[in-house]
Structure 1
Amino acid sequence: FGDGSPVASAALAGGVATISHTYTSAAGFTVTATYDGAPSFLSSSGTDAQTVNKAATTTAVVSAPDPTVSGQPVTLTATVVPSAPGTGVPTGTVTFDFGDGTPTATAPLTDGLTSVTHSYAGTSGSPYTVTATYNGDTDYTASSGTDAHTVNRAATTTAVSSSPDPGVTGQTVTLTATVSALAPGSGTPTGTVTFDFGDGTPTATAPVAGGVATVTHAYSTAAGSPVTVTATYNGATGFAPSTGTDTHTVNKAATTTTVASSPDPTVTGQTVTLSATVSAVGPGAGTPTGTVTFSFGDGTPTATAPVTGGVATVTHVYAGTSGSPYTVTATYNGDNGYTSSTGTDTQTVNKAATTTTVASAPDPSVTGQTVTLTATVASVLPGAGVPTGTVTFSFGDGAPTVTAPLSGGTATTTHAYTTRTGSPFPITATYNGDTNF
């Protein structure tokens, strides 16, 4: 047969011998037929040229499993067979084009079969056209086959955590969402995560980088704590949405209360403004609300004022100096986001200045006539109130002085002048003061 295979013999019938042979490779072969002779005939030989061309092939490709999800490995199997009338088992390689723009892969044929694995990173081109190209060999021609492979979005899980936890009112909290693909999917999800803080404030959306999205938030109150934080992954071309929750505890922030008085010092009866400033203590932040109760330190009733912009203000009038300096106490009563606290200050109250006026009636009088002398004592601004105590009267005629008690700011005495020598007489009324004036 000219291809190195064993010779074969066939019987002559009517001068013709016939045999069949299959060539396993493509080439030009010289076929030699040798007649062995017979008693009446001599032996002889003859040759012929036999051309054997490459056999055509067909290539089929299948994927399993189908469909898959993003990141899931898929096995692509190509089967190469000769087309009739060719037979045999093709050898060589098959090149796979996955249809997603990634580099092709080439694998060797074994018994007409070859397989590769591939993971699709997304779904944007699904279903993808997979092309398997048999590259041919010395005996078989090249051929191609295609298959459609569907890739669905991979399921995901979203986990969310907060730090620090617990926090306090006004403290900045970092919320972190981690998005992962669920098996059999794989890969790192992209896209965005929307955070709901659980306190009624607007949601916030952050990009996913390396599977993680992060935002910060400050809770303005501890009411409703613990709050439920919800992180919703919004999905991407290769990954399905998912949601995760976490509870975050918000405690009341500590506060400090400072109190100041103005003016300081004051005098009896003067109006003083007392201001309490309430501030959050770090890591807390924000502006406390609620009320502050003021104790003036003089036994008078307390006063409660609202906190506006972190400040509460009242006015007070000290009626005396007996407890000066007075300890002023401002107690912040707390609110939903902040704890109570207390601050103190001292307020000095000095005696108020006074004026004393004196009048006589009747004026003029005559020798021996009884004259009524009236002294009026009043406080001088910014002081106020009604002085008490005594007034000492000097009549200006050498007679002994007389001291009379004040009542309602007035002291009265009588005197009879025994002579008119020295008239008009200088009358002096001296207010002797008290604890407050």
Structure 2
Amino acid sequence: VTVCATVTAVAPGSGTPTGTITFTGPGGLNETVTLDAGGMACVTTTVLETGTVTVTYSGDECLSSSTSTVDVAVNPAASAVSVTVDPNPSVCGETVTVCATVTAVAPGSGTPTGTITFTGPGGLNETVPLNASGTACVTTTTLETGTITAVYSGNTCFLSSTGSLDVTVNPASSTVSVTVEPNPSVCGETVTVCATVTAVAPGSGTPTGTITFTSSGGLNETVPLNASGTACVTTTTLETGTITAVYS
């Protein structure tokens, strides 16, 4: 914004004033400028806020000092939100960093302040303050495939805005470990066979689903995993050979 002041002599006085003009106003405007040959002085500022700008003429040896004011209206600037996700695509349980950066839309300028609210598939719902660069980030391990939305709250100087980004979360790899107790055993003995499923990094979390156990001796049973990712069966028909546990 350009603010100008022109000083003129009041009749019956005449002549072109010299000296300085001091501009003060809301938002921190406080600047003293020398009058040009036409008795005018101007300042430019990007920090102006709604209120009253005051201009004070210093006076010179021929003209007395004087003051004038003007009311100014400074509306909130538009803002824009850009969203990044790293990594994208990811796998289930992987640590993912979601960031949003808010920028002013011209002719507005400056770095927005306030908060960003992130929402997304898998239960993401978190509000984070913007840092000094106008960016906010969250990390999550529960993300699912879908669309992440970042909503900027706005402030006295910037309007609220929204950004979004589609993300892909693929299934993570898993591994199955099998235990047999007792092993070795004897014919007809009660044997407990367990299988535990774990996520392979960078995936994490506890798998759900079922394990199907098969082996010589007729073992063929499907069992759901418990809360720890483990499933067990007992059998008295086991024979020497290989037990296979297939995670669904």
Report what 2:205 is aligned to. Answer: 385
Contact 2:33–2:42 at 8 Å: present in 1 too?
no
Q: Which structure: larger Rg? A: 1
- Residue in 1 aligned with 2:11? 183
Alignment match of 2:40 (pick from 196, 209, 212):
212
Instruction: State the match for 2:93 in structure 1.
Output: 269
**Structure 2: how far apart are the matches of 1:177 and 1:268?**
64
8 Å CA contact 1:293–1:302 kept in 2: the answer is yes
Aligned CA-pair RMSD? 1.8
| Structure 2 unaligned blocks of 5 or more | none
- 2:223 match: 404
The answer for the alignment partner of 1:304 in structure 2 is 127
CA drift at 1:418? 6.4
Q: Which amino acid aligns with 1:293?
A: T
Seq. identity, %: 47
State the one-letter code of the partner of 1:385: G
Cross-structure match for 2:74: 250
Letter in 2 for 1:426: T
Query: Counterparts of 1:314 and 1:359 in 2: how far apart (Å)?
Result: 39
**Secondary structure, in 3 states, of the residue corresponding to 1:364?**
coil
Pairwise CA distance, 1:203: 2.9
The 3-state SS of whatever aligns with 2:45 is strand
1:330 aligns with 2:150: yes
Alignment partner for residue 110 of structure 2, among 270, 279, 286? Answer: 286
Per the alignment, residue 431 of structure 1 pairs with: 247
- For residues 173 and 16 of structure 2, the distance between their equivalents in structure 1, rounded to whole angstroms, comes to 83
Compare relative contact order (CA 8 Å, sep 6+) and give the higher one, 1 or 2. 2
SS in 1 for 2:191: strand
| Kept in 2: contact 1:297–1:329 (CA 8 A) | no
Amino acid at match of 1:211: G
Q: Is the 2:219–2:237 contact (alpha carbons within 8 Å) kept by the matching residues of 1?
A: no
Q: Deviations over 1:294-337 (max 9, x none)?
A: 11133x26211001120011122226x5xx2x111100001111
Task: Give the one of 355, 366, 370 matched to 2:186.
Answer: 366
Whichever residue aligns with residue 129 of structure 2, its letter is P
Q: How far has the Cα of 1:204 moved from its partner? A: 2.8
Distance 2:178 2:77 in 1: 62
TM-score normalised according to structure 2 size = 0.92
Tell me if the contact between 2:76 and 2:159 (Cα under 8 Å) persists in the aligned partners: yes
Contact 2:20 2:32 (8 Å CA) reproduced: no
Would you say how many aligned residue pairs link Structure 1 and Structure 2?
A: 246
Report SS of the residue matched to 1:218: coil
CA contact (8 A) 1:219 1:250 kept: no
Contact kept, 8 Å, 1:393 with 1:402, in 2: the verdict is yes
Superposed CA deviations along residues 263-313 of structure 1, whole A, max 9, x for unmatched, are 111211222111010000000000000111111133x26211001120011
CA contact (8 A) 1:333 1:340 kept: yes
Alpha-carbon displacement from aligned partner over 1:121-160 (angstroms, at most 9, x marks no partner): xxxxxxxxxxxxxxxxxxxxxxxxxxxxxxxxxxxxxxxx
Q: TM-score by structure 1 length?
A: 0.54
